Amino acid sequence: METLLTQLTSASAAAANLHTHATTAALRRQALLGCQSLLDQIKVAQARLMADATTHRDWISTGHKNMADWLADTTKSSYGDAKRKEKLGNALGQSPDLSDAVASGQLSPDTAEALADIITNPPPAATPDDISDLVAATKGATPPQAKAAVDYWRDQLTSETEEEAETRRFAKRAVTTTIPADGTSTTSITLPVLHMRELLNAFDHAAGKFAEGDTRTNAQRLADGAITLAKLYNSGQVNGGRSNPNIIVTITAEAFAGLTNQPGHTPWGDRISAHTIRELAKNATLQRVVMAGDSIINLGRKVRYASHDQYLALIARDGSCRWGNCTTPAAWCDVDHVQQWANGGTTDIDWEWLLCPHHHTQRHLPGVTIHGNANSNTRITLADGTTIQCPPKGTTHHKSKHSKPPRTAPPGRQTTQVA
């Protein structure tokens, strides 16, 4: 082992001192191939070491859950990459054919990696000869070609029925979320393709089409759809056969009235700005809870910020999101004050309108101004000076050729609570 460490140290030093400048195209191409060959050799060596260390359970006493976890954490590299190295090492150990093909350069380590899963976890009907055939058939193949061969081979050999295959795929379903960094976190969703299509379709529909003045990427638009769907669910407008969930946010009366900007809190301890809570409240059912220290001394009646009649009138007048040609249905929209609540706006419907969650956010961006009241000649000027006409699109207004009817009838009012 000391020999190995000495070898690795000198190989590493040699790599660090490589002269990477070549004077001719032919030399540069040759040098690139030389680097690739070196990387390939190292990759195979590391894969074999990973499999070996895993077999010997070398992570025990390091405080990590397995070898890949230890390597990824220690070298600040990807856990997925470490797992793939381990799998490649296992496959090389299990299949002499694979090992020989890689050693002789007939299979690149990347292509071998594409075969690793099926070699370490073959269908029950597969024999060692079948594995040899597969390795032979993929010599000289690119990784995608090898993946395609694996799929074909699995279909030919597998004894599982379509139903069993579906069950196996469904068992892979997963939603995982990373630890938040810089105030965002990434959720990864693994689903059978059909379910994924359903999910993406739902995001797509909830997001609505691109509207004029839209600078979002499609990825951002789909994310807006996901946000909208979550809001719809929370407001009881996605019918799942269960009662409507509430979000409880506590805030002082002074902050709610706009006299201070003291933030409120969710039951999970998230700080929510007073401004955000005042915005949320426009679309929520409110319940006043008067506290003295930790004791509740009075519970108020549940009330809506905008009355139900006012809300029905807004649906009739606006029909859908008022922003340009956005067609997000009225039932999916937020009530927004054309004039800011804190600046003396009233709940009179002349000064209220409906905006979809995305445009509600856009409307509150710095430099965005609204002209006119909510009834007539309403325009939005964006920070870059673009002006967007925002006519009412509902049944109480004559439809211009630019406005489209809402897609669905509103099923009901939101019941999110801000207590």
Spatial CA neighbour of 131 closest among 119, 148, 116, 113: 119
| In the complex, least distance from residue 208 CB atom to Zn ion, rounded to whole angstroms | 6
Which residue's CB is nearer to Zn ion, number 71 or number 321? 321
| In the complex, least distance from residue 153 CB atom to Zn ion, rounded to whole angstroms | 49
Which residue's CB is nearer to Zn ion, number 82 or number 232? 232
Interaction between residue 418 and Zn ion (CB under 5 A) = no
Decide: 274 and 266 in contact? Cβ < 8 Å. Answer: no
Q: Which stretch binds Zn ion (CB under 5 A): 2-10, 281-289, 320-328, 368-376?
A: 320-328
Interaction between residue 353 and Zn ion (CB under 5 A) = no
Which residue's CB is nearer to Zn ion, number 137 or number 316? 316
| In the complex, least distance from residue 59 CB atom to Zn ion, rounded to whole angstroms | 51
Query: At which residue do the structure tokens 């490649």 appear?
Result: 88
Which residue's CB is nearer to Zn ion, number 147 or number 322? 322
Lookup: tokens for 266: 């969710």
Q: Which stretch binds Zn ion (CB under 5 A): 5-13, 106-114, 254-262, 317-325?
A: 317-325
Interaction between residue 332 and Zn ion (CB under 5 A) = no
Which residue's CB is nearer to Zn ion, number 53 or number 315? 315
Separation CA 373–CA 142 (nearest Å):
63
Q: Which stretch binds Zn ion (CB under 5 A): 28-36, 295-303, 314-322, 400-408?
A: 314-322
| In the complex, least distance from residue 230 CB atom to Zn ion, rounded to whole angstroms | 17
Which residue's CB is nearer to Zn ion, number 284 or number 321? 321
Which residue's CB is nearer to Zn ion, number 178 or number 369? 369
According to CB under 5 A, which one of 131, 284, 326, 370 is a site residue for Zn ion?
Answer: 326
Site string for Zn ion, 269-308 (x = CB under 5 A): ----------------------------------------
CA dihedral 101, 106, 109, 114 (to 10 degrees): -80
Interaction between residue 363 and Zn ion (CB under 5 A) = no
Phi–psi pair at 255, nearest 5 degrees: -65, -40
Interaction between residue 67 and Zn ion (CB under 5 A) = no
The radius of gyration of the chain's CA atoms, rounded to the nearest angstrom, is 30
Binding site for Zn ion (CB under 5 A): 321, 323, 326, 328, 356, 359
